[in-house]
Amino acid sequence: MQQTLLTVNPTKLVNALRHSFTNNTTVLGELMQNSRRAQATSVEFLFDHPTNTLTVIDDGCGIESIDTLLTVAESGWNADVIAQEHPFGIGFLSALYACQHITVVSKSGKLMSNTDEILTFQPISIVPVDNWDGKTVITLQEIGLEFEQIKRKLIELARGFPTPIVFDGQLLSRDCAIDTSSEFIDTEIGSIRLAMDNKESCVDIDVYFQGLPIYRTNRTFRDAIPRHIIHLDPSKFIARLPDRDKLVDEENAIKTIRSTLAKYIEDYYLKLKATVDPMDFVTNYQMLNSWYLLHLLNDVPVVPACVLQTFVDYPNCDESGFGYYLSPSNAVLTLAELNSKGVVSMDECVKYDGALCHTFAMQKGYYVYHGGLHPEHWIHQLVKKLEKPTVELVNETRSALFKGDWVWVQVRFCDSYEITVGGETIEINGHTIYLGEDNGNEVVMPRLGNTSGVLTQISSYRDDNEDFQQSAYESDQAALYSFCVANRTDDPLVSIQQLLPTHLPCPILYGNSFHLHVNADGNVTVTTLEKMVA
């Protein structure tokens, strides 16, 4: 029986590993990590433009063995670092891939070599260093990175890093680092800092692993957007090798992170709820909603303004085109205030169901609840679903078919109309109302009702491509006005006065009188002209 063993082609393996790093800036994070593990108090990056040389200096414990530095899969770190962080011993390869020539100076010696010599396993000399000054210096000549590229990446990497980073003489911001804030909480997943300094919804998170960013929602960075900061416990999470740019089993890891965040956010709000006025507490609605914590509002005797609406305009069938007729309430409201005015839900569609319910609620001054609170919240005991309304016309005068460019509808003229809902009746004489496609496609036009406004209840005036037909809308407005004039009065003189323009900018007509004849089809002819006597 023939036996065999797993073997490795070192040259091919090292060449293949070149493509295992996510991007060419990985080297920056790897050098920062080595300095942190060496317990450096700061890391300085210097860039020389003419030679494209990057120099990295730290004051850590130094490299114990440069031989180990050049040994793949051998980290050289002590037992504590290995147990906590699981270094793989491959990160320094990113430095070799990043430049043409490298120099390393530390307590165990000095190495100077072209990187292709190292990567092709040629012997490299290590020169002893006498009187080491306590600084480890790594110089990467002819590095394949630009100044601005290095600067942008270091700014990103430094934000959560536990060791101060200096680039080109400037100390970079570490506003997300644990040691720069007293607000971090030790949790079962690591250290977290909750973004609770405003009342807006905050669901974005920045996740750091061993001080470097590994996960971020909404990747466009803006200081104005609050974010929750998480520094993961490296003993409980695993990062993808070699450059640890992504969590292993990321989807489940993020679920764990978010569920832990939600628990601590809930704890925060439970404590806040016990110390602040209910009026102030409900202003945190957006955050509570974002983190599925609306149940915390169930026993609060006020409701946030954003879940209630009031009527501010004539109802229409397309608020995006004709404007919003319901607007969020301007104030936090108490149980007593809601009982006093009443709260209803509005599920009816104006276009199909008509505007009877909307008009009734508007005239009664009801608040409109549009959802957004927990199913067990006490508001659901107050919200009324309006019963199917009925309408009665008072002194109906006539009925006629209006034929516009876009809208054809039967119009019933009257002095006023009465809407009855749940045994309660209100009379209206100032609002024309559409009864809906499901209710005969009729319009009720009271004596003092507007004319063109009702068209916004009947149609959105949008074509199949959702383009608004402005000309058709304006034409129907003008036609409906004339139609109403013709049907609202029995006095021909009043009708003609309302239909004719109030000014004709034609001087030749000034001062003259005319006799008009309107035939049975409504066509107009001028039969007599009486010229003004000078």
Structure token pair of residue 77:
């770190």
Task: Give CA–CA dist 99/140, Å, rounded.
Answer: 6
pLDDT at residue 511 in the model? 74
Is the Cβ–Cβ distance between 456 and 472 less than 8 Å? no
Structure token pair of residue 411:
């119009």
* CB contact set of 361 (below 8 Å; sequence gap of 6+): 311, 344, 346, 368, 386
Sequence length of the chain is 534
Nearest to 162 by CA among 223, 238, 234: 234
pLDDT at residue 73 in the model? 43
pLDDT at residue 119 in the model? 83
* φ/ψ (deg, to 5) at 110: -125, 135
Task: Give CA–CA dist 292/477, Å, rounded.
Answer: 47
Task: Give CA–CA dist 358/348, Å, rounded.
Answer: 8
Task: Give CA–CA dist 174/185, Å, rounded.
Answer: 18
Its pTM surpasses 0.85: no
Is the Cβ–Cβ distance between 63 and 138 less than 8 Å? no
Strand partners, 403: 408
* φ/ψ (deg, to 5) at 334: -90, 165
pLDDT at residue 219 in the model? 63
Nearest to 30 by CA among 21, 19, 39, 18: 21
* String of DSSP letters for 503-518: ----GGGTT-EEEEEE
> Are β-strands 408-413 and 442-445 bridged in parallel, bridged antiparallel, or unpaired?
parallel
Euclidean distance between the first and final Cα of the chain, in Å? 134
Tens digit of pLDDT for each residue in 104-148? 999 888 989 898 888 888 888 888 988 899 999 999 999 988 999
* CB contact set of 212 (below 8 Å; sequence gap of 6+): 29, 32, 33, 157, 160, 161, 244
Tens digit of pLDDT for each residue in 391-424? 999 999 999 999 999 999 999 999 999 999 988 9
pLDDT at residue 75 in the model? 39
Task: Give CA–CA dist 388/422, Å, rounded.
Answer: 8
Return the number of other C-beta atoms located less than 10 Å from residue 177's C-beta.
Answer: 21
Summary count for the chain: helices (H), strands (E): 17, 29
Is the Cβ–Cβ distance between 99 and 140 less than 8 Å? yes
Domains of the chain: 10-171 (3.30.565.10), 178-273 (no CATH), 297-384 (no CATH), 390-492 (no CATH), 495-530 (no CATH)
pLDDT at residue 83 in the model? 42
Structure token pair of residue 343:
């709260």
CA angle at 263 for the pair 257 and 265, rounded to the nearest 5°: 100
Spatial strand order in the sheet of 398-403: 398-403, 408-413, 442-445, 433-434
Please give the average pLDDT of every successive group of 10 residues along the chain, which has 534 residues.
Answer: 64 55 77 88 94 93 80 45 44 80 90 87 87 91 92 94 95 95 94 84 90 84 75 90 80 95 95 94 92 95 92 91 90 88 90 92 93 94 91 93 93 94 92 89 89 89 93 92 79 64 68 76 72 62
Task: Give CA–CA dist 265/268, Å, rounded.
Answer: 5
Task: Give CA–CA dist 151/57, Å, rounded.
Answer: 16
Return the number of other C-beta atoms located less than 10 Å from residue 326's C-beta.
Answer: 18
* CB contact set of 142 (below 8 Å; sequence gap of 6+): 51, 52, 53, 99, 100, 101
Structure token pair of residue 458:
């009947």
Q: Which residue has the tokens 């899969």?
A: 73
Tens digit of pLDDT for each residue in 351-369? 899 999 999 999 999 999 9
